[in-house]
Chains A and B, each alone.
Chain A
Amino acid sequence: MALRSFADGRLFGERIGNGEPRVLALHGWGRTHRDFADLLQGMDAVALDLPGFGASPAPERAAEPPGAAAYAAILADALPELGGPFVVLGHSFGGRVAVHLAASRPEAVTALVLTGVPLLRRDDERRAPPIGYRIVRALHRRGLVGDARMERLRRRRGSEDYRNASGVMRDVLVRVVNETYEAPLRAVSCPVELVWGDDDPQVPLAVAERAAAILGDRARLTVVPGAGHDTPRTAVAALRVAIERHRPLAVEFAT
């Protein structure tokens, strides 16, 4: 219910429960830690606002816009303060970050619970933009088309997330939607729970099935009939079961 700052104000979040937190929850794009209010009830957990969302300030502008790995590095810096090791729950964009965190800091992550995470690029997304758009973009790069016109075209073409993003967050969005997570998935050594709505229009079940194939016997896929993309609020029971399966392990590690 009450916010708390971590990493000298680079991250804000909420601690749920009075014990040492054993669950770390990472929300989706454009969302906040409050998505997990119901789901985490009764657990000892931390739900964070990822940089650029909720109360957490956006990451610094850099030559290379930060992607999911850079987000994971920001969380890794805060780990001594956050506690753990954790079962890391990642929804959508938060899951991209969770995979990188598990791959780079295996000692801090006892299990991953991923839901609605765009882990792998879909074939239908690999299409190049239409030729007209590419021509205007090329002309813009050469200074022959003004910024205002290019921006109008980008907005027309861009997703709702893109239209709503500004500044460095737009660069982050462009970067992460073009990322794929095969390499960090292969590097993950902990168990991975994939909890998916079979009616998720944004990240279809096929993505989870392909990820499960890459992970092999480390993965367990739970399909939630009728659930869409907003699983933290619509698939609470299935996600709690997936978290609970790994929570006792976290306690053993701690003692």
Chain B
Amino acid sequence: MTRPAVIFGGPSPEHDVSILTGLQAARALLDAGTDVLALYWSKTGGWYEVAAASEAEAFASGVPARSQPVDLVLGPDGGFEGEARLGRRRRLELGPLLNCCHGGPGEDGGLQAALDMAGLRYTGPTAPGAALAMDKLAFGGVVQAAGLPTLPRELVTTATPAPAFGGGPYIVKPRYGGSSIGIHVVEDHETARALVRTQPLLRAGAVLEPYRPDATDLNISVRTHPELQVSAVERPLRGPQGAAIYSYAEKYLGGEGLSSARRELPADIPEALEARIRESALVVARLVELRSVARIDFLWAGEELWVNEINPIPGALAKYFWEQAGVTFVQLLRDMLAEAEASPARRFDVEGADGSALRAAHSIADKLA
């Protein structure tokens, strides 16, 4: 395999967490003897080649010292290019890219589309899969249409009427984006509308769901190579302050990202429930064209189980799920890279565009007439 590259960062609220995921992945590969390049996507959208063995601290106030700016070039000869001597351009010879970007364009199909157009191979979701996974309204609708149970989820704007499914309290979430940033529990619909009017993170779109404090979070991971597999089920443990929702701080400010958060894995739950979660996770994986590794979050209350969300590029790449199943982090990464190497996420198809429609078209002016 040509030298792979780990890509991380990106103009997203989860930029910092992505750096943690990326540096962990790069370090694990280096330590296991896999040479790897590290490409950092800055908060302002610039790309930099950085030392793969960097520490997180080096990124605390922006682009680290001694980083080499590189450009992502689209087109048939696309790829990453850096500056060489005498003002020449230098093409980075890259194998598959290990996409460690969380949130924003790195996880919502934007970067995926750019990499497709640059002819690069990458891990993680395809462009359409990522876009679907990161749109909570669309994802909920697709899951529901496939016959899986979900909590009612409605669009909320400054003008929407009270939700059809009943009264508060509700959870208000950004429609796009995958973390718990910007999530609020609100008493009533009026407060939800006021939040949508005043919170920058909700302005791009927001959804409203019933708040179910009685429900338990249950998460599972799915990976797709060497074969489609589901992990054991995890029950994340909530913070001591009776926090209303499993917050960003609880997830990430503990240390090495999600992998150090408190959890029960495997979760002590009835066997039949675990079987339902595993089956539903496989259906969801197919619905969103899942690739590499993802985390699917469920809510459980008594007899009821709901598909909640999917995280197509989960924090720390869900490594703790797979370590528990006997798959080392480096093996997980190598499987992801092998899959990406063998199959580009997307090929463009020009079959049928053989010129016959053009030859039969006569003049454009005629078409306008």
- Tell me the A residues contacting B by CB distance below 8 Å: 1-5, 8-9, 12, 15, 34, 37-38, 55-57
**With A34-B241, A37-B241, A37-B242 given, is the CB distance from A1 to B195 under 8 Å?**
no
A55→B241 contact, CB < 8 A: no
- Tell me the B residues contacting A by CB distance below 8 Å: 168-169, 184-188, 190-191, 194-195, 197-199, 211, 213, 241-244
4 nearest A-B residue pairs (beta carbon): A9-B194, A5-B194, A2-B169, A5-B191
What chain B residues lie within 8 Å of A57 (beta carbons)? 198-199
State A2–B243 Cα separation when bound (angstroms).
Answer: 10
State A231–B68 Cα separation when bound (angstroms).
Answer: 47
A4→B186 contact, CB < 8 A: yes
B187→A3 contact, CB < 8 A: yes
State A66–B195 Cα separation when bound (angstroms).
Answer: 23
B195→A2 contact, CB < 8 A: no
What chain B residues lie within 8 Å of A3 (beta carbons)? 184-187, 191, 195
State A38–B242 Cα separation when bound (angstroms).
Answer: 9
What chain A residues lie within 8 Å of B168 (beta carbons)? 2
Least CB distance, B229 to chain A, in whole angstroms:
38
Least CB distance, A48 to chain B, in whole angstroms:
13
Inter-chain pairs besides A2-B211, A38-B241, 10 sampled, C-beta below 8 Å = A1-B244, A2-B186, A2-B191, A3-B191, A3-B195, A5-B186, A9-B194, A9-B198, A12-B191, A55-B198
A2→B187 contact, CB < 8 A: yes
A55→B199 contact, CB < 8 A: yes
What chain A residues lie within 8 Å of B242 (beta carbons)? 1, 37
What chain A residues lie within 8 Å of B199 (beta carbons)? 55, 57
Least CB distance, A210 to chain B, in whole angstroms:
34
A12→B185 contact, CB < 8 A: no
Residue pairs across A and B with Cβ atoms less than 8 A apart, 27 shown, are A1-B169, A1-B244, A2-B168, A2-B185, A2-B186, A2-B211, A3-B184, A3-B186, A3-B195, A4-B188, A4-B191, A5-B186, A5-B194, A8-B194, A9-B194, A9-B195, A9-B197, A12-B191, A12-B194, A34-B243, A37-B241, A37-B242, A38-B241, A55-B184, A55-B195, A57-B198, A57-B199
Least CB distance, A95 to chain B, in whole angstroms:
22
Instruction: For A38, give the chain B residue with the smallest CB separation.
Output: B241
**With A9-B198, A55-B195, A55-B199 given, is the CB distance from A4 to B241 under 8 Å?**
no
State A1–B170 Cα separation when bound (angstroms).
Answer: 11
State A15–B169 Cα separation when bound (angstroms).
Answer: 13
Name, among B186, B195, B198, the residue most crowded by chain A CB atoms within 10 Å (CB to CB).
Answer: B198
What chain B residues lie within 8 Å of A4 (beta carbons)? 186-188, 191
B244→A2 contact, CB < 8 A: yes
What chain B residues lie within 8 Å of A56 (beta carbons)? 198
Instruction: For B184, give the chain A residue with the smallest CB separation.
Output: A3
State A96–B197 Cα separation when bound (angstroms).
Answer: 28
Least CB distance, A11 to chain B, in whole angstroms:
9
What chain B residues lie within 8 Å of A5 (beta carbons)? 186, 190-191, 194-195
State A121–B195 Cα separation when bound (angstroms).
Answer: 36
State A38–B239 Cα separation when bound (angstroms).
Answer: 13
What chain A residues lie within 8 Å of B190 (beta carbons)? 5
State A34–B243 Cα separation when bound (angstroms).
Answer: 9
State A2–B241 Cα separation when bound (angstroms).
Answer: 14
Instruction: For B190, give the chain A residue with the smallest CB separation.
Output: A5
Instruction: For A7, give the chain B residue with the smallest CB separation.
Output: B194
State A4–B244 Cα separation when bound (angstroms).
Answer: 14
Least CB distance, B297 to chain A, in whole angstroms:
20
What chain A residues lie within 8 Å of B186 (beta carbons)? 2-5
Least CB distance, A156 to chain B, in whole angstroms:
12
State A56–B198 Cα separation when bound (angstroms).
Answer: 8
Least CB distance, B88 to chain A, in whole angstroms:
31
**With A1-B213, A2-B211, A4-B188 given, is the CB distance from A12 to B241 under 8 Å?**
no
